[in-house]
Amino acid sequence: MSINLKTIKHISKLSRISVDEKKAEKLAGDLNSIFEFIEKLNELKTENIEPLTSVAETTLKLRSDEVKSKNLREQIIKNSPQENEDYFVVPKVIE
């Protein structure tokens, strides 16, 4: 299997990471060597094996739906790169 530049561009779009030509070529090289290494798993037959999704064999506990933290709005908004009073600000999305 080989990951070409077109695939890299596709993954970068899905990942929301912009990639120029030079970076895409480097990534294609790296990912191909990593996937070559990963392909080793194909040696194993796994049709009848249950996938392991979590090693923690617990059932999720229920709790009452209560607000426990104090009002942190101001502090939380402060961490935002751009703010306007009570709102997070992003580039305009509606024309």
| Residue 48: alpha-carbon gap to chain centroid | 29
Considering the complex, state which of residue 56 and residue 67 has its C-beta at the smaller distance from other proteins. 56
Contact between 82 and 89 under an 8 Å Cβ cutoff? The reply is yes
For the bound state, the minimum distance from the C-beta of residue 23 to other proteins, rounded and expressed in Å, comes to 8
For the bound state, the minimum distance from the C-beta of residue 21 to other proteins, rounded and expressed in Å, comes to 14
Residues of this chain that interact with other proteins (CB under 8 A) are: 3, 7-8, 11-12, 14-19, 27, 30-31, 33-34, 37-44, 46, 49-56, 58, 60-61, 63, 69, 72, 75-76, 78-82, 88, 90-93
Considering the complex, state which of residue 50 and residue 85 has its C-beta at the smaller distance from other proteins. 50
φ and ψ at residue 84, rounded to 5 degrees: -145, 100
Considering the complex, state which of residue 41 and residue 67 has its C-beta at the smaller distance from other proteins. 41
Mark 48-72 as b/e (b = at least 16 C-beta within 10 Å): eeeeeeeeeeeeeeeeeeeeeeeee
